[in-house]
Structure 1
Amino acid sequence: MPTDTPQPKFVLVRPQMGENIGAAARAMWNFGLDRMCVVAPRDGWPNPNAVAMASGAGRLLDEAQLSPDLPAALSDCTYVFATTARPRELTKPVFSPEGAMKKAAQLIANGEKVAVLFGPERAGLENDDVARANAIITVPVNPAFASLNLAQCVLLMGYEWRRQIEQVPEEVFELGKADWATGQDVEALVAHYEDRLTEAGFFFPPEKAEGMKTVFRNLWSRMRLTRADVQLLHGVMRQMVRWKNSGTD
């Protein structure tokens, strides 16, 4: 059975290739979506090519709703989006993928049943299909090559849906097994380098030494170091001093 997670139904209208249906199922399951409806597939149903392509998402195909036509597929829906790249002579609101899935999330949260239509691979949705939708979704693609593969379009909508229902940080930093260096760790590292560089005559001439040290310290503060980084840099300086004192050319 499909999960209980509130979500839109993805409706594949007259899909032509089983491989694309399977790839669409896989794309849906990547983002936790499992409400698939297949409308009048060209090569019949079930389709072994779809199963092979779905990989670990075969369950979606087993549980997919099979409808003879679009009205039957949309019989339980209260709001419908149609994905299309072609201009239409129809007066409808046009959403970006992000805006559409934001509205879908709001509607579903209010108890409505939402569907997203995806057209067949050759030419996409027909005007009669789009006329049954409440709104259009258009992807800002290259106008000279606007056609998206069926599974690509499903993947894009699934991604935007996931963004609406889950907090996704814009950036995370994986520390692995390391910890961030503390202020004390960095101070000890700076002192180590300043002492050795002073001995080497780096801070010259004397009247510019304090300014150079300030710039040098500022360099360290711009870097976020881990304790492993600090230990490595201490080791680098120790080895350089050993090498110099050994008299090696």
Structure 2
Amino acid sequence: MAELVLTAKGLSRRFGGLFANKDVSLDLHRGVLHAVLGPNGAGKSTLINLLSGDLPPTNGQILYRDQDISGWSPDKRSRAGIGRSYQRTNIFPAFTAFENCRLAAQSRAPRALRILSKAQGYADLAEAADRALEQAGLAERRDMVASTLSHGEQRQLEIAMVLATRPSVLLLDEPLAGMGSEESQAMVALLQKLSPDHAILLVEHDMDAVFAVADVITVMVAGQVLESGPPEQIRASIAVQEAYLGGGESDNE
């Protein structure tokens, strides 16, 4: 049985009288890629924001390795091993790919702003940055300024920055957004490479990519879980087909 890393129990988030998420429960296991699908306004991005700590839940509980982290800040969750990416690429465009990853690694080091004065500390950060770039398939782009990378490579760099913090959980919000076919294939290959060593929650609109990489798919509608199960179950579900597969293409909630 795969290791249970992160659990959401009865998670709800209300804005005034509207529930963006209502009684959402799911489990994230190491080595299991768990995708979340749903039409516009389904609450997918809200769910990631709740799990990462960017939004506090109105009700419900989030457990990380059996510890209640529902009240933890985003920074504390990140330091504990919960990493996330965003719908919009979040990098330092004027820095090289290596410098971006080194900064991410530095944020996890003790006395982060002072450790660079120590030779061993610098070497450790450089090693973590290079390892993350290698994992993300960007080793050959190490010394390129981030703004000169292609859109797909910038998305890979954002994931590399997350990897530099050595997370056990990856919360990925539409990592394939805006990519062409070749770049999408590269990202799918990266997700497959990362899956064995991480618990991954993937929000994505590229249906082909989702069904190619997901081990478990949860479908959300109007902030609630409609159905959850393996890809073949979701593909065959009449309720899912009616609610989503013929629906919209973008999610900005």
The two structures share one fold, judged by TM-score above 0.5: no
Q: Which has the larger radius of gyration?
A: 1
Normalising by the residue count of structure 1, what TM-score does the alignment of the two structures yield?
0.26
Higher relative contact order (CA 8 A, sep 6+): 2
Q: Which has the higher helix share?
A: 1
Q: Which has the higher strand share?
A: 2
